[in-house]
Amino acid sequence: MNSSTFIPPEVLDTERLEALNQTELLDTSSERAFDRLTDLVQRLLNAPVALVSLVDKDRQFFKSSCGLPEPWATSRQTPLSHSFCKHVVSSGEPLVVENATLHETVRQNLAIRDLGVVAYVGIPLSTPEGHVLGSLCAIDSVTREWSPDDIDLMNGIAESVMNEIAVRLHTRQIEAQVQELHSLNVELNQYASELKAATAMRDRVFAIVRHDLHNLLESIDVHSAGLIKDKYTPSESSNDYPAIDSAA
């Protein structure tokens, strides 16, 4: 199989792709926070091209690029047939290429022909969970031996890239929690309002019941008093009075 069309299975890993999507960086505009890092790579390594490359399932998207030729600079992406970074995702290790035309892994890659890539160094952009989102890479159009200092600098800048991504993820998590708390607060306020209304209704019902019960008890008292009076007060027709002896 032609290595330019081969897509490593690690690239297609669903958990990795989910982690990549969660960054919400794909197809977003360029940002100074990332551009200053690729600019730093370009200046410190004196490399014609520097990229923050995010490797999707069928393409690589450049969140930041310095020195990339057209039309790639405008499209800010290439198919994986033009990606060295897919091999960084596959291995999870830095890929250092001095001469791409002689390198076993990438010598058939179309980026050599179409983008003029000859020398390349790519550092994995890895999450704490071990998902490689892509790579920070430096590219030269001529054969080049990358020094240990070059690799150390790239590792440090790659860490800064991931710190920037981590800050964004953490910020979104906090925003989501704040929104959740806000929604909960709205629900609690609604519940409190409903509880207050229910309490007021209960008090009104109790007041009516107390009033009606008070009237009922008064009515019972009046009725009971009448019954007692009727029982112990002789009527005019009663024969309960003692008889008078006529002989007296």
**Within-domain flag for 197:** no
**Within-domain flag for 245:** no
**Within-domain flag for 53:** yes
Give the closest residue to 151 by CA, choosing from 120, 182, 172. 120
Taking the CB of residue 88, how many other CB atoms lie within 10 A of it?
A: 28
pTM above 0.75, yes or no: no
Q: What is the pLDDT of residues 51-110, one digit of tens each?
A: 999 999 999 999 999 999 899 999 999 999 999 999 999 999 999 999 999 999 999 999
Is residue 7 pLDDT above 70, yes or no? Answer: yes
**Within-domain flag for 77:** yes
Percent share of the chain, pLDDT over 70: 74
**Within-domain flag for 67:** yes
- Report the domain count for the chain: 1
pLDDT of the residue at 224? 66
Percent share of the chain, pLDDT over 90: 65
121: containing domain: 14-176
**Within-domain flag for 161:** yes
**Within-domain flag for 188:** no
**Within-domain flag for 86:** yes
Indicate the residue type of 13.
D
pLDDT of the residue at 248? 43
Helices 32-45, 148-232: crossing angle, 10 deg rounding: 160
Q: What is the pLDDT of residues 163-184, one digit of tens each?
A: 999 998 888 777 667 666 756 6
Domain with residue 99: its CATH number is 3.30.450.40
